[in-house]
Structure 1
Amino acid sequence: MFTGIITAVGQIKSAQAKGDGLQLIIEVPSGYLDDVALGDSIAIQGACMTATKFEGNTFALDISRESLNKTVGLDKIGPVNLEKALRLNDRLGGHLVSGHVDGVGEVFHFAPVDQDAYGSWLLRIKAPIDLAPFLAYKGSIVVNGVSLTVNTAEDVDGACIVSINLIPHTLQSTTLGKLKTGDRVNLEVDLIARYIARMLNKS
């Protein structure tokens, strides 16, 4: 389990074929791996992965073809959001996150909020329509591993349009500040909303 609070930005240094998937080597800030053991879970761009090898300030992970087919941003060199698995005595600063990507969305608007003295940006994403029942005003969503609050969610032309405000700290501390129109992003809906929807469908 995770919280959607990014603990570091790492860098995929290599992505080599392994079986039907890839082996990734990820470089992290100095000291980041001090409390991480072999087999521990780390979320990469919102996808839960297992650390399989350590060397200096890098760790390796194996990613299957299934995971590659269901996510974006894990098959090439570049920066990635990282979060270590939640401990039971940790603060829950974001919301409960499983690290299982529910769908891939597309950025179609990302710009500064007009007349916002604090430097916030408005992010609008086209999410798959099948995620719409789980997205609600002031509900939670995970974008590339980051826990965020939904400002609006509306169904338009076969997609669910989600609007989110990003504060400067989020822009500076995650990879979200590098987004641009047309980029695809990993999305995870609220875990509790998913279970409630399942229970309601059973009644």
Structure 2
Amino acid sequence: MFTGIIETLGEVTALRHEGGNLHITVSSGIAGELKIDQSVAHNGVCLTVVALNENSHTVTAIEETLSKSSLGQLEVGSLINLERCMQLNGRLDGHIVQGHVDQTAQCTAVQEMDGSWLYTFSYDASKGNVTVEKGSITVNGVSLTVVDSQEDRFSVAIIPYTHEHTNFKTIKEGTVVNLEFDIIGKYVARLLGK
């Protein structure tokens, strides 16, 4: 379980394919604090640490994960949002995030707003996921509030701190991102659909 509050940015230092799996090595300031078998969200995808070095860790994404996320598009040098799992005695500063990406979206617009940024994303609405205005959404692991909700797209406003300390600064028109829709909204939609 995560909160969507990004701890740090990591940099992809190596990618190795093995069958349908992708081993991803990430250099970061938290690598020295990680343990083998620990869960860490990578751009919103919960992955297990399988190897550690002094300044980096390695995780493995399987074919199912690669088909539902943008992790397969990573390149050496890509910046990746990292968050360790939440502690039960801590504050929930973001919202409840599982680290299970529902689908990807594409950035369709980035608008500077005199000190902040408005990002618009479009997604395949046929998968049944929905947003609501002022509801929660996770984009590349970042807990955000929906500004404008439509059937197949939404916008989010990004403050300077988030822009500087996450990989939002690298997102431009055409960039594919990971989405995790609000868990409460998913359950409500499922129940109403029955």
State whether residues 163 and 169 of structure 2, in contact with CA within 8 Å, keep that contact through their aligned partners in structure 1: yes
Alignment match, 1:52: 50
TM-score, structure 1 normalization: 0.90
Alignment match, 1:43: 41
Q: Percent identity?
A: 35
Which stretch of structure 1 is more off in the superposition, 127-136 or 38-47? 127-136
**How many Å separate the matches in 1 of 2:190 and 2:117?**
34
Alignment match, 2:169: 177
Alignment match, 1:82: 82
TM-score, structure 2 normalization: 0.94
Alignment match, 2:133: 137
Alignment match, 1:123: 119
**How many Å separate the matches in 1 of 2:67 and 2:180?**
15
State whether residues 32 and 55 of structure 2, in contact with CA within 8 Å, keep that contact through their aligned partners in structure 1: no
Length, aligned pairs only: 192
- 1:195, distance to aligned residue in structure 2 (A): 1.2
- 1:131, distance to aligned residue in structure 2 (A): 5.7
- SS for the counterpart of 1:124 is strand
State whether residues 102 and 180 of structure 2, in contact with CA within 8 Å, keep that contact through their aligned partners in structure 1: yes
Alignment match, 1:161: 153
Letter in 2 for 1:33: A
Q: 1:112 to 1:131 in 2, by over 3 A?
A: farther
Q: Deviations over 1:46-83 (max 9, x none)?
A: 10000011110111111111111111144422110000
State whether residues 131 and 189 of structure 1, in contact with CA within 8 Å, keep that contact through their aligned partners in structure 2: no
State whether residues 32 and 54 of structure 2, in contact with CA within 8 Å, keep that contact through their aligned partners in structure 1: no
Alignment match, 2:60: 62
Alignment match, 1:188: 180
Q: Deviations over 1:153-200 (max 9, x none)?
A: 113xxxx12011111001001000111111111111001111122222
Structure of greater Rg = 1
Of 144, 147, 151, the match for 1:151: 147
- 1:133, distance to aligned residue in structure 2 (A): 5.1
Query: Structure 1: any 5+ residue segments left out of the alignment?
Result: none
Root-mean-square deviation (CA, aligned residues, Å) is: 1.4
State whether residues 22 and 64 of structure 1, in contact with CA within 8 Å, keep that contact through their aligned partners in structure 2: yes
Which stretch of structure 1 is more off in the superposition, 13-22 or 68-77? 68-77
Letter in 2 for 1:151: V
Letter in 1 for 2:141: G
